[in-house]
């Protein structure tokens, strides 16, 4: 597969942007090689500037759950854009999306819109500190909550991929890090510091060290520990919200956090984030309360429009069953061809969110994720890319199935993985 135009674009981009990219993992440092520069996307497929076509399992890193450029979302956006792109004043669109979110997500009674998941997480922590008047936070190794200082400690996603899990210049003396799925570790940390802990923030299904599922009792344990010490429990559902169930992981696992971060899907592919929770907490956000938080483009009418239409299309009965069914078809097929060639692997999946690790032990936390075979993943990644299958360029990321993925897409993907498996000794 030729990528000459992408190579040219990449060289020029590197002169004017660090690494040639607007977000680090896109530069392919984790896997090497030239990132395809994307020209367009439609449904489950994307095309690069050299005209190569790929079946896309990145889905803009989560938002594209309907597939790309869904006609109803495009129509809604076309109509909205005629009315202007930003006003810096309230619109009815915000109330509509907020109402839909409050109805859908069990623990959210009020919500504040921001522009990214990063902002959602840093603002939720700010609120937790304001509510509790405490400084410390507990996070988990390999979880990613955006790039705010207190959260860039042992962070997953690009921070792990680039080998900068705790980035230069960041002070995070109030952050305590525990192991994912290790509730005893959390209990010990809370015993030592619980009275100073404002919040425990967690990805209820981790997606940023690859896909890692919460063990039975882990989320319940966090709920108990935070209640005991008067700390808030924050679910960062930027990835899992409207992904693992309509109401997110909190619906799927039936745990009610105090605050929830959202992003990705709720913006239907436009830049967005949100945080919300019980009225008693959200009332403390400015202008009702003393926790100041603001944004020039927050509640942007285009982002709200794309979000409203996306969630409307997700609320159709049977949608999540369909996502479950095509995702199962895919991962069962991959399992089959890898098993057939006796390639050690673990596939983790919840709904339409999954990843494959080349590991011979269960992957339950960052340490076990990092022990998986990185060289094998790189080889796998490039073979798939050249075979027209677009995965995230790092094993510390999840893959996503959308409603636009067809049985043909799934069949083709399993076929290419089968070809790769055959070449392994």
Which residues bind to ligand PLP, rule: CB under 6 A? 116-118, 121, 144-146, 203, 207-208, 236, 238-239, 263, 273
- Among candidate residues 54, 57, 144, 253, the one labeled active-site is 144
Alpha carbon 245 to chain centroid, angstroms: 14
- Among candidate residues 48, 56, 182, 236, the one labeled active-site is 236
Are the C-beta atoms of 205 and 244 separated by less than 8 Å? yes
By C-beta, is 137 or 421 nearer to ligand PLP? 137
Closest residue by beta carbon to ligand PLP? 117
Cα-Cα end-to-end distance for the chain: 24
> Could you tell me which of 308, 312, 300 has the C-alpha nearest to residue 113?
300
Smallest separation, CB 116 to ligand PLP (Å): 4
Alpha carbon 213 to chain centroid, angstroms: 14
Tokens 């936070």 belong to residue: 137
By C-beta, is 55 or 238 nearer to ligand PLP? 238
Smallest separation, CB 237 to ligand PLP (Å): 7
By C-beta, is 182 or 236 nearer to ligand PLP? 236
By C-beta, is 146 or 210 nearer to ligand PLP? 146
Per the annotation, the verdict on 411 as an active-site residue is: no
> Could you tell me which of 118, 55, 138, 140 has the C-alpha nearest to residue 295?
118
Beta-strand relationship, 353-357 and 45-48: unpaired
Per-residue burial over 282-319, b = 16 or more CB atoms within 10 Å of its CB, e = otherwise: beebeeeeebebebebbbbbbbbbbbbbbbebbeeeee
Per-residue burial over 380-395, b = 16 or more CB atoms within 10 Å of its CB, e = otherwise: bbbbbbebebbbbbbb
> What is the secondary structure of 321-340 as a DSSP string?
HHHHHHHHHHHHHHHHHHHH
Beta-strand relationship, 136-140 and 175-178: parallel
DSSP category for residue 298 = T
Smallest separation, CB 373 to ligand PLP (Å): 24
Smallest separation, CB 113 to ligand PLP (Å): 13
How far CA 207 is from CA of 51, 156, 201, 224, 272, in Å, comes to 30, 9, 14, 23, 19
By C-beta, is 124 or 338 nearer to ligand PLP? 124
Smallest separation, CB 236 to ligand PLP (Å): 4
Smallest separation, CB 375 to ligand PLP (Å): 26
- Residue 386 is inside which H or E element, if any? helix 374-386
d(CA 312, CA 232): 31
Within 24-183, strands assigned E span 38-42, 45-48, 53-56, 110-114, 136-140, 175-178
Per the annotation, the verdict on 50 as an active-site residue is: no
By C-beta, is 238 or 356 nearer to ligand PLP? 238
d(CA 215, CA 317): 28
By C-beta, is 211 or 311 nearer to ligand PLP? 211
- Measured in residues, the chain has a length of 425
Per the annotation, the verdict on 320 as an active-site residue is: no
Smallest separation, CB 383 to ligand PLP (Å): 26
Q: Which residues are catalytic?
A: 144, 236, 264
């Amino acid at each position: 597969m030729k990528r000459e135009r992408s190579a040219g674009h990449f060289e020029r981009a590197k002169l004017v942007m660090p690494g040639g990219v607007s977000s680090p993992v896109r530069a392919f440092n984790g896997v090497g090689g030239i990132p395809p520069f994307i020209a367009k996307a439609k449904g489950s497929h994307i095309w690069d500037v050299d005209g190569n076509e790929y079946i896309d399992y990145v889905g803009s890193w989560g938002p594209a759950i309907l597939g790309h450029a869904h006609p109803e979302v495009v129509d809604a956006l076309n109509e909205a854009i005629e009315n202007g792109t930003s006003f810096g004043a309230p619109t009815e669109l915000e109330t509509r999306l907020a109402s839909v979110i409050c109805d859908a997500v069990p623990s959210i009674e009020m919500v504040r819109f921001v522009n990214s998941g990063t902002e959602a997480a840093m603002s939720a922590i700010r609120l937790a500190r304001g509510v509790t008047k405490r400084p410390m936070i507990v996070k988990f190794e390999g979880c990613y909550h955006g790039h705010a200082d207190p959260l860039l400690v042992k962070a997953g996603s690009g921070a792990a991929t680039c080998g900068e899990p705790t980035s230069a210049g960041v002070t995070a003396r109030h952050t305590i890090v525990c192991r994912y799925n290790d509730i005893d570790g959390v209990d010990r940390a809370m015993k030592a510091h619980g009275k100073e802990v404002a919040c425990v923030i967690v990805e209820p299904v981790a997606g940023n060290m690859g896909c890692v599922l919460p063990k039975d009792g882990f989320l319940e344990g966090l709920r108990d520990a935070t209640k005991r010490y008067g700390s808030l429990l924050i679910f960062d559902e930027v990835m899992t919200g409207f992904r693992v169930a309509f109401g997110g992981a909190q619906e799927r696992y039936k745990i009610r956090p105090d605050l929830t971060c959202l992003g990705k899907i709720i913006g239907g592919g436009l830049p967005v984030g949100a945080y919300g929770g019980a009225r008693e907490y959200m009332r403390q956000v400015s202008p009702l309360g003393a926790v100041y938080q603001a944004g020039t483009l927050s509640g942007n009418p285009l982002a709200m429009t794309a979000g409203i239409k996306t969630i409307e299309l997700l609320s159709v009965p049977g949608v999540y069953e369909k996502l479950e069914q095509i995702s199962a078809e895919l991962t069962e097929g991959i399992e089959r061809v890898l098993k057939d060639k006796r390639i050690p692997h673990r596939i983790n999946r919840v709904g339409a969110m999954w990843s494959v690790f080349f590991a011979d032990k269960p992957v339950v936390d960052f340490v076990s994720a990092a022990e998986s075979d990185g060289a094998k993943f790189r080889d796998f990644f490039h073979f798939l890319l050249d075979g027209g299958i677009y995965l995230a360029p790092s094993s510390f990321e999840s893959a996503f199935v959308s409603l636009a993925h067809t049985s043909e897409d799934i069949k083709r993907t399993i076929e290419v993985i089968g070809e790769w498996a055959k070449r392994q000794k």
